[in-house]
Structure 1
Amino acid sequence: MFSRHQSMAFALGFVVRAAPALAAGFWGLLVLRALVPAGVVLSVGRLAAAAAAGDGDALARWGGVWLGALLAERLLDPLSGMVEGNLNERLTARVNRALMEKMNRFAGLEPFEDAAFYERVERLRREASYAPMNLSIFLGQVLLAALTALPLLLLVARWGWVYPPALLLSTLPYALAGVRLQRLVWETVVGTSPEARRMDYATGVVLSPDLAAETRLFASGGFWARFYERNFRALHARGRAVRRREVLVSGVYVLPSALGLGWTFGSVLKGGVGVGGVVEVTAALHRLQAELALLVEALGMLERSLYYMDELRAFLEAEPRITGGRLRLNPGPPEVVFENVSFRYPDGRVALADVSLRLEPGRTAALVGENGAGKTTFVKLLLRYYDPSEGRVLVDGVDLRELDLAAWRRRVSAVFQNFGRYALSLEENVRLADLEAREPAGPALAQAGAAELVSRLPAGAVTLLGKAFGGAELSGGEWQKVALARAFYRKAKLLVFDEPTAALDPRSEARLFARFAELARGRTALLVSHRLASVRTAGHIFVFKAGRLVEAGDHGGLLARGGEYAELWRLQSERYA
């Protein structure tokens, strides 16, 4: 994917941009902490030599150095911990912000349709709470161990220049094996991502308050527990294999390191270094062995963190397929023309086939048809969540792909089948439609028939909604009224209602459509529904079947024609008779 120096440069740059002052302070403290062990080892050796020689002045001097080094170690550790904790929090926040900002740049819905891409996004999201922190921690450990080992190696070099290279070479096989092992660990994480997601899904189903009634009625809790267990066994088997290999690697490659230490120690002693030298070399090699082992381990874990940063970089550098043009339209209600439009989803499903129609400016039209007829796909193309596979969509005679996309969407307001239920206050839920507007949400709530809801909530429009943070829970119909209020709040020139009354009772539905007719005056409006009674007052009705436009006309004309619309009307009339 990326070379290691590219990965490291990106990771370091990311850390520095997250918190420049904290990063500088953190690395400065690492340098200071790295000098302390060498000072301790050197002072211990000098103390032993002074004691053997009976030199009281040297004992006092080197005793002071030893105590100073220990005191510095005690003071620097908590200070470094504080700076590292602050840096970790800032780094984690920066990663999460980067993920959100990048996802917001994808103007279309393609990331959610591409399984591999979405898998990467989910993996980045899951690990965002600890992977950036691990990068900071293990990068710090690598630098600290390396900087600590350097003066110790210089101490050892006093007894012979050949010893430092010998010690490093004896550690190299273990280091390379550790890096390769972390690559295997990352591949295991990537390979088991589907199992991990299924495990999360199973626990989410069983613990979800929204699904509690159904799981209890159908006694499906045991099914989900078994579903979880199957995926856990698959994930756990791969994890066990990696951990066994880790133990094997540690056992095999620690031998060259031990031989290198033993050879160095024996060779130095043969040179006759005296009591102080023996103490110094013993302490130096003991600490050096610990630091080199930590360095190797931290290098392996840093490699694991760099794989995460590679994934993050690849995601941040991915280019959206849907990009906006530069043209802007006049502010009036738009005319929309679908010209021989066909569309296939990334998995090859044909959703629309050769559709041509016109939405007249300032008039209300309707799309009807059975489920799966292509109505919602039509809306996605209208809002340019996708581009047509064939044909084109024209707005006031201009290809939609040439328009400023953000400006176009600001002219549209919509209620979708899967509308948002945000854990915010009622007021905020509505005003999300236009964050620049200053008008209160009250009028829009009244237009949506939710005025009574406001009066019933304990704190009125500022009441927190949803269970996520302990707010008031609403019924499905009440949530739909909130979504309708959100659509009304934006003063748009094109209104799109995709199954807007699915959760409403007949009386609320009738009131809503009466209000909608008033609000739609002077705007281009599109009603999408499979309930024909909801759209019979529309000026023009388009009938879809299996992705094709099969009929068009007004309610009376379509009934007289005796085609698909008339058949659907008859079936629905019999159902509700």
Structure 2
Amino acid sequence: MPRPRLRDETKPDTAGLLKILWRTLPELWRSSPLLVTLLGLMALIGGVIPAVTLLISKWAVDGVSEVAAGGETNLALLAGAWAGAALLGQLTGVARQVLQGYAADNFTVQTSRRLMDKMNDLPGLEVLEDPRFHDDIQILQMGAPRRPLNLTATILGLLATAVSLLSVAGVLLTVGWWVPLVVVLGMIPLTLTQMRLYELGWSMTIQNTQASRELNYFQKAALNHGYAKEIRLYGLMPYLTHEYTERTLDYQRTMRGVRNKQLIGVLPAQILALAVTAGVFAYAVWQAQLGNLTPGAVVLVIGALSQVRGQLQELADSLGVGSEHLHWFGKYYEFLDAVPSVAVPAEPLPLPQRFDLTLDGVTFGYQGHAPVIENLSLHIPQGQTVAIVGENGAGKSTLVKLLLRFYDPSQGRILLGGAGEQVDLRDVDPQAWRSQVAAVFQDYARFEWDVRQNVLLGQEEDAPRLQYAADASGLTAMLPRLESGMNTRIGQAYGGVDLSGGQWQKLVTARALYRDARVLILDEPTAALDPRSEAEVFRTFAELSRGRTAVLVTHRLGSVRMADRIIVMNAGRITEDGTHEELLAAGGEYAELWALQARQYSESRDWLEREPDPASLLSSD
């Protein structure tokens, strides 16, 4: 199955944008049916009012002229009608603004929810770890709070403007059948030019997404608490400031060129539109001098020309801005329609009774790269504790991702179950499988919530189970040192406390234990810990893994003797398989790594015990 792509290098043409609009309108209506219906009605009323006002103004001017000539006209009625139309326009505008805000809020929530639901429907990591994803998801994240709102306003504005343009153009028919046709045709080039320039602006947005993301990264690094120590220690701020400034100036030069092109490109069309307007106005004055038009008709032409020009300008702006919003929704639908490589089967098979894990000729490589794991076969019986060791880059963490079905093998199978009941992991629901697995990763998530939420991770609280997880992980012992115990907020960004590496380790272990899973995985969990904390974690792991299938991934061998079995990986292949004693006796790679790390620990201990003279450490010898 092909890997999903979020980025489509071809831009939608006009037909494509209309398809996107046709898909978006029902979603907008479904988000707030009553509000959208009322807003459409108000847009229609608001669109007709300018034409009605122009006609009333014409009748009023002609009425004044008639009264001046000795005739009779009910000027009070005309004045009242004009005021009533103006008031109705004001009330409609205010009500539309209020209701539009409500409808846009609902549409925004619906759009953001669908993005989050789609993210939940991506069982694997292949999209999230694709570099192209980061540009596209930045566009989606930045646009989600405002694009639905803006598109709602744009669609309703377009409706009102189109109705107003048609009604005002219709009023110009009183001057001559050809007048509205000439006025509209003379302004169409300006409308099309402005739309093309908006297209250019969107194209530059897409092309510069990575550049702007990198630019923002330098600013983030300069202001982020997590980088503060290194920045101050190594005097990094001048470099960050220089890079941010240079990249910003380069980005601004690019965008300045776009803006200049927009300004220059629109001038010829502006001149043509102005010439057409001036010509029609001159014609109306000439006809009035000949007695073919009344003073009211001249006033009508002046007002109508101004309104048509303004409405076409507004129409062009709305179409241009609307096309930009539709481009965003195009990416939104690309994301919603993405078919993941790791997919939920149409008819998932039930989980087997036994949880033996079998890798059968598994090969896997990340997109565009050589295989990380090649033709790997491995059987882990239910209840066995297996340590997978090897140097960095051996493929250990990739193996864990495959076991968790964050990726599917490009070749081979991963089977679950005992003899006679084995099922391919691709044939079971990923969520059903993962509900039976608890894992502690090296790069575990540090949510800036309170301790309780960090353990529960959205699950309902079960007090006895929470107490067990806290006791077994050592979390209970550290709670008295926290101001509010389980309710202590973590993270300085929200006024909470920072936890040490060891404290975090206890918390994420409690998180894993709260699930009470049948399979326990530790993926390099002690990489950032000192040897004493590391030994404590492994002791806890040994106690907790009894009766469970347990997989420990590490490149540090200090505490792997507690495993029933040790697998040595090198360059994506299994090179050794046995107990600690068997592998030492074999004298292979494991024995070599064991001797090397044991010597390092021994030398460190001897060095500390000798307590050397600090001056000797500074000698040139």
TM-score norm. by structure 1 comes to: 0.95
2:331 paired with 1:311 = yes
| Cross-structure match for 2:350 | 328
Query: Aligned letter for 2:589?
Result: E
| Cross-structure match for 1:553 | 578
Is the Cα contact below 8 Å between 1:177 and 1:249 reproduced in 2? Answer: yes
2:22 paired with 1:9 = yes
| Superposition deviation, residue 172 in structure 1 | 1.2
| Superposition deviation, residue 402 in structure 1 | 1.6
| Cross-structure match for 2:137 | 121
Is the Cα contact below 8 Å between 2:502 and 2:533 reproduced in 1? Answer: no
| Cross-structure match for 2:170 | 154
Distance across 2 between alignment mates of 1:487 and 1:237? 51
| Cross-structure match for 2:472 | 447
2:167 paired with 1:131 = no
| Superposition deviation, residue 79 in structure 1 | 1.9
| Superposition deviation, residue 382 in structure 1 | 0.5
| Cross-structure match for 1:144 | 160
Which residue among 391, 394, 398 is the counterpart of 2:412? 391
Stretches of structure 1 that go unaligned for 5 or more consecutive residues are none
| Cross-structure match for 2:3 | none
- Secondary structure of 2:558 counterpart: helix
Q: 1:260 to 1:437 in 2, by over 3 A?
A: farther
| Superposition deviation, residue 505 in structure 1 | 4.0
Distance across 1 between alignment mates of 2:49 and 2:401? 63
- Secondary structure of 1:527 counterpart: strand
Cα deviation, 1:218-258, whole Å, max 9, x if unaligned, reads 11112222222233233222211111111112211112222
2:367 paired with 1:351 = no
What percent of counterpart residues are identical? 35
Which residue among 251, 257, 266 is the counterpart of 1:241? 257
Is the Cα contact below 8 Å between 2:352 and 2:416 reproduced in 1? Answer: no
After TM superposition, the structure 1 = structure 2 runs for residues 154-193 of structure 1, keeping only pairs within 5 Å, are: 154-193=170-209
Higher mean displacement: 125-134 or 148-157: 125-134
| Superposition deviation, residue 56 in structure 1 | 6.4
- Secondary structure of 2:388 counterpart: strand
| Cross-structure match for 1:91 | 107
| Cross-structure match for 2:391 | 370
| Cross-structure match for 1:281 | 301
Is the Cα contact below 8 Å between 1:367 and 1:542 reproduced in 2? Answer: yes
2:34 paired with 1:21 = yes
| Cross-structure match for 1:337 | 358
| Cross-structure match for 1:431 | 456
Which residue among 429, 442, 446 is the counterpart of 1:417? 442
Query: Aligned letter for 1:523?
Result: R
Distance across 2 between alignment mates of 1:214 and 1:34? 60
Q: 1:519 to 1:306 in 2, by over 3 A?
A: same
Distance across 2 between alignment mates of 1:207 and 1:90? 34
Is the Cα contact below 8 Å between 1:364 and 1:540 reproduced in 2? Answer: yes
Higher mean displacement: 397-406 or 195-204: 397-406
Query: Aligned letter for 2:192?
Result: L
Higher mean displacement: 218-227 or 550-559: 218-227
Q: 1:277 to 1:438 in 2, by over 3 A?
A: farther
| Superposition deviation, residue 331 in structure 1 | 4.4
Q: 1:429 to 1:169 in 2, by over 3 A?
A: same
Query: Aligned letter for 1:532?
Result: L
Distance across 1 between alignment mates of 2:464 and 2:313? 64
Cα deviation, 1:363-401, whole Å, max 9, x if unaligned, reads 111101111111000000101111112221111132221
- Secondary structure of 1:366 counterpart: strand
| Cross-structure match for 2:598 | 573
| Superposition deviation, residue 353 in structure 1 | 1.7
Distance across 1 between alignment mates of 2:483 and 2:117? 35
Is the Cα contact below 8 Å between 2:66 and 2:73 reproduced in 1? Answer: no
Distance across 1 between alignment mates of 2:314 and 2:376? 65
Q: 1:207 to 1:462 in 2, by over 3 A?
A: same
Query: Aligned letter for 2:250?
Result: A
Query: Aligned letter for 2:546?
Result: R
The two structures, once aligned, show a CA RMSD in angstroms of: 1.9
2:316 paired with 1:296 = yes
Distance across 2 between alignment mates of 1:206 and 1:558? 49
Is the Cα contact below 8 Å between 1:113 and 1:346 reproduced in 2? Answer: no
| Cross-structure match for 1:33 | 46
| Cross-structure match for 1:43 | 56
- Secondary structure of 1:473 counterpart: coil
Higher mean displacement: 539-548 or 511-520: 511-520
| Superposition deviation, residue 431 in structure 1 | 0.8
Q: 1:440 to 1:200 in 2, by over 3 A?
A: farther
Is the Cα contact below 8 Å between 2:17 and 2:327 reproduced in 1? Answer: no
| Cross-structure match for 1:255 | 271
Distance across 1 between alignment mates of 2:375 and 2:384? 24
| Cross-structure match for 2:85 | 69
Distance across 1 between alignment mates of 2:498 and 2:109? 30
- Secondary structure of 1:441 counterpart: helix
Cα deviation, 1:443-475, whole Å, max 9, x if unaligned, reads 212211111332222222122222343322222
> How many residue pairs are counted as aligned between the two chains?
576
- Secondary structure of 1:3 counterpart: helix
- Secondary structure of 2:74 counterpart: helix
Q: 1:247 to 1:49 in 2, by over 3 A?
A: same
Cα deviation, 1:411-450, whole Å, max 9, x if unaligned, reads 1110111101112221111111745867563321221111
| Cross-structure match for 1:112 | 128
Q: 1:150 to 1:327 in 2, by over 3 A?
A: same
Distance across 2 between alignment mates of 1:429 and 1:317? 32
Stretches of structure 2 that go unaligned for 5 or more consecutive residues are 1-11, 603-621
- Secondary structure of 2:369 counterpart: coil
Higher mean displacement: 540-549 or 457-466: 457-466
Q: 1:358 to 1:435 in 2, by over 3 A?
A: farther
Q: 1:139 to 1:568 in 2, by over 3 A?
A: same
